[in-house]
Amino acid sequence: MLFGLSMTVLFVGFAIFMSFQIARNVITFTGELSQEIVAMRADRIGGTIDEQMANLKEEADGFLNGMMVDMSTLGKASAELYEDLLKDTMEKKGRQLPRYWSTQVFANTLGVGFTIQKTMEDVTQEPYYQAIMVNGAESYVGSAGRIPEAEEPVFVIAHEVRNSSGERVGVMAATVDLAILGNIATTAQVNSEGFGWIVDETGQVITHPEPGYAFVTNLWNEAAAGNDGYAEIAESMAQGKAGYQLVRTADDSIGVEIFTPIPSTEGWYLVVTLPYSVMSERSEGVIRLIVFSGIVIVLAALAVSFYLSGSVSRPIKELATYLDKVANGDFTQQLKWKRKDEIGQIAGSFNRMSDNLRHMLRQVGNITQRVAAASQQLSAVSEENSASIEEVAASMGEFAATVESVNDNVQKMVGKATSVQELSNQGRLQMQDSTRTMNGIADTATESTTVMSGVQKAAAQIAKTVRLISEIAEQTNLLALNAAIEAANAGEHGRGFAVVSDEVRNLSLETKKSAEDINSVVEQLTEQVQHAVQVIMANNEQVSQGINILEKTEDNFLHITDDVGETVRMINEIASAAETLELGSREIAASSQEQSAAMEEIASSASTLAEMVKDLETMMSQFKISDEAAETEESATA
């Protein structure tokens, strides 16, 4: 009965807790699901904006067939011609505006806007012009409001205009009826409940199915009007978040606002207003189901508790009496229950436990006797081992002294071998220095040979040039001679030219003589260079022989160093082995002493073990283990 009441209290508490949890989770789930539905409607609004932007982009791409220019680069006359052309072009566009467009403007790079009314206006401060021409955006969506040219509110879309050369030459803008977006927003519902409206990036309501809200209400100001929750929505929108919010109006009515950003816009949001019942009715249904299920379960728990109180308590009392006897050391009793339920299984388990304990106690008694005999043998053996270990310890002490003497001699050999190795290393290093010096001499001689070869080539080039100069001098002499002859034939008129010809002829003769002198000097220089090259080559050969001899000597020193190093390594190994032997002998001696002490402890432990066996035999005498119980165990096992 007590079990049933406790289960009832626990379940009622659990049902209350689960009701609150499920109500909250169902509201959360419903809000998230509703948010997905609203997001799809926001995508549809964004798609409508994309369609209008695609129409405007087509207008911008085909504007003046790509022949528009940057008007800031034009002179006054050309600019006036383009202004007239743009006015006419925009007037024609005004006669065939796309559906939902109320006006269209082209703004050039100077910030002058050309309207479909053939007027010009300054648009440099317009948001769409700033976004595209100043900040470099490709397109723009925003600036919802009312304009004189349209009866209903509009919003602005704009796209950059580039010419066929890819140069940005202006902006094409259009105002679109806001109703095409408001109609889509108004029909946004969840489970056929609620309505939608649009908020711009400033928190201003720009579309609403009820009059008096559009371009009047701002979410940031709703708290002052007694409407709670709207400032939190505006804060989430400013952070670019989507979600849902419970709101309370000034007349204490509760609703739910689900909001999500509209694609292709800068901060516009679609908001759907729902009655709170849409969110709460599902959780209330789940709570009713939990309460009904709880009542059924509580009644079932009470019925089961009444049944169990009679069928479980009596066997448990018998089991407690049996356990008291077992606790007092009486293993001769057994439970005689024949039930097949869980209580019967418990009785069988306790009977098997009693049989196992009885069998274990018999084995403990047998083991106790064997341990007593073994402890006596252990005492005798430990005394014999102690004597043997003392003899081993004495022998290992003498062996350690001998190994220590060997180790001292080996250390002396290591010192001498190390000295020899250092001397051979020094000799090898000196031979390396000599080899590097000879290599430097060889490199210098090789470089000298290269330089002399260059000098020889330069001398040959000079000789070639001198010969060319001699040939030119001879040709000049012949030309001067011919000129003198022609001047003589010319008579009085060629006298001045004859004087010049004589001067040229004399200059050519002097040039030829100088060239011959230079050629003679070059020939002497060439012979001396050739002789110097031969001397340097002979010196190179002798240096190469010296380098070979030094390299062979260095190799010999290297072999000597390696052999001495190998010897030192082997001696070190011997020394290490000797140290290991010495250490091992000392460890063996110490281990022998430890074993001797351990054998003494074993002898003491054997004595203690004999006393413990006596105590264990005394404890075993307290348990009751009859032969009849053994027969019962054998029959139960069979």
pLDDT in tens, 421-437: 777 777 778 777 877 88
383 and 501 in one domain?
yes
Residue 570 belongs to a domain: yes
Residue in this structure with the two tokens 């704009």, named with its chain if needed: 158
37 and 165 in one domain?
yes
pLDDT in tens, 181-199: 999 999 998 888 899 999 9
| Residue 464: its H or E element | helix 342-490
Task: Give the number of other Cβ atoms within 10 Å of residue 372's Cβ.
Answer: 16
- The per-residue pLDDT for 476 is 85
Residue in this structure with the two tokens 């083991």, named with its chain if needed: 367
394 and 269 in one domain?
no
pLDDT in tens, 36-91: 999 999 999 999 999 999 999 999 999 999 999 999 999 999 999 999 999 999 99
| pTM for the model | 0.45
402 and 492 in one domain?
yes
Q: CA-based angle 110:112:115, to the nearest 5?
A: 150
- Rg for the chain, CA atoms, rounded: 59
Q: CA-based angle 261:266:268, to the nearest 5?
A: 40
- Per the CB < 8 A criterion, the answer to whether 312 and 343 are in contact is yes
Distance CA 144, CA 128 (A): 12
- The per-residue pLDDT for 292 is 67
- The per-residue pLDDT for 559 is 79
Residue 591 belongs to a domain: yes
DSSP secondary structure string for all residues of 254-290? EEEEEEEEPTTSSS-EEEEEEEHHHHHHHHHHHHHHH
253 and 130 in one domain?
yes
Extract the tokens encoding 631: 């027969």
Extract the tokens encoding 209: 């199915």
Distance CA 288, CA 434 (A): 106
Residue 459 belongs to a domain: yes
Cβ-Cβ contacts under 8 Å for 132 (sequence gap 6 or more): 138, 139, 140, 158, 159, 160, 171
| Residue 159: its H or E element | strand 154-162
- The per-residue pLDDT for 633 is 46
Q: How many CA atoms lie within 13 A of 638 on its CB side?
A: 5
Residue 101 pairs with which residues in a beta bridge? 176
Extract the tokens encoding 387: 């004597």
Residues 597, 599, 601, 606: what is their CA dihedral angle, to the nearest 10 degrees? -170
- The per-residue pLDDT for 628 is 45
273 and 353 in one domain?
no
Distance CA 625, CA 638 (A): 20
Q: How many CA atoms lie within 13 A of 388 on its CB side?
A: 7
Domain with 141, as residue range(s), is 11-278
- Per the CB < 8 A criterion, the answer to whether 268 and 201 are in contact is yes
Smallest CA-to-CA distance from 48 within 205, 243, 181, 209 is with 181
34 and 159 in one domain?
yes
Burial of 90 per CB tally in 10 Å (0-12, 13-18, 19+):
buried
Long-range contacts of 626-629 (CB under 8 A, 24+ apart): 626/332, 628/332, 629/331, 629/332, 629/334, 629/358
Task: Give the number of other Cβ atoms within 10 Å of residue 443's Cβ.
Answer: 11
Please tell me what DSSP assigns to residue 73: G
- Per the CB < 8 A criterion, the answer to whether 528 and 521 are in contact is no
| 121, 128, 215, 222 from 205: Cα distances, Å | 29, 20, 6, 11
Distance CA 15, CA 287 (A): 9
364 and 272 in one domain?
no
Cα 567 from chain centre: 56
Distance CA 290, CA 243 (A): 29
Residues 179, 183, 184, 190: what is their CA dihedral angle, to the nearest 10 degrees? 150
- Per the CB < 8 A criterion, the answer to whether 174 and 105 are in contact is yes
Residue 229 φ/ψ region, left for φ over 0, alpha for ψ in the -120 to 50 degree band, beta for the rest? left
Residue 368 belongs to a domain: yes
605 and 492 in one domain?
yes
Smallest CA-to-CA distance from 156 within 268, 66, 238, 71 is with 268
Residues of the chain short of pLDDT 50, as ranges, are 19, 21-26, 29, 628-638
Distance CA 327, CA 335 (A): 15
- The per-residue pLDDT for 182 is 95
CATH number reported for the structural domain that contains residue 426 in this entry: 1.10.287.2610
Residue 635 belongs to a domain: no
Burial of 94 per CB tally in 10 Å (0-12, 13-18, 19+):
middle
- The per-residue pLDDT for 635 is 44
- The per-residue pLDDT for 23 is 44
Please tell me what DSSP assigns to residue 317: H
Residue 247: helix, strand or coil by DSSP? strand
Extract the tokens encoding 442: 């060889």
Domain end, chosen from 278, 307, 332, is at: 278
Handedness of CA 327, 328, 332, 333 (dihedral sign): negative
Q: CA-based angle 625:628:632, to the nearest 5?
A: 105
Burial of 259 per CB tally in 10 Å (0-12, 13-18, 19+):
buried
Distance CA 206, CA 208 (A): 7
Distance CA 293, CA 277 (A): 24
Residue 4 belongs to a domain: no
| 52, 100, 201, 280, 460 from 174: Cα distances, Å | 9, 10, 20, 45, 86
- The per-residue pLDDT for 139 is 97
Q: How many domains would you assign to the chain?
A: 2
Residue 313 belongs to a domain: no
CATH number reported for the structural domain that contains residue 23 in this entry: 3.30.450.20
254 and 139 in one domain?
yes
Distance CA 210, CA 195 (A): 10
Domain end, chosen from 229, 261, 278, is at: 278
264 and 141 in one domain?
yes
365 and 273 in one domain?
no
| 44, 48, 150, 549, 624 from 55: Cα distances, Å | 17, 11, 20, 93, 105
Residue 443 belongs to a domain: yes
Q: State the average pLDDT for the chain.
A: 80
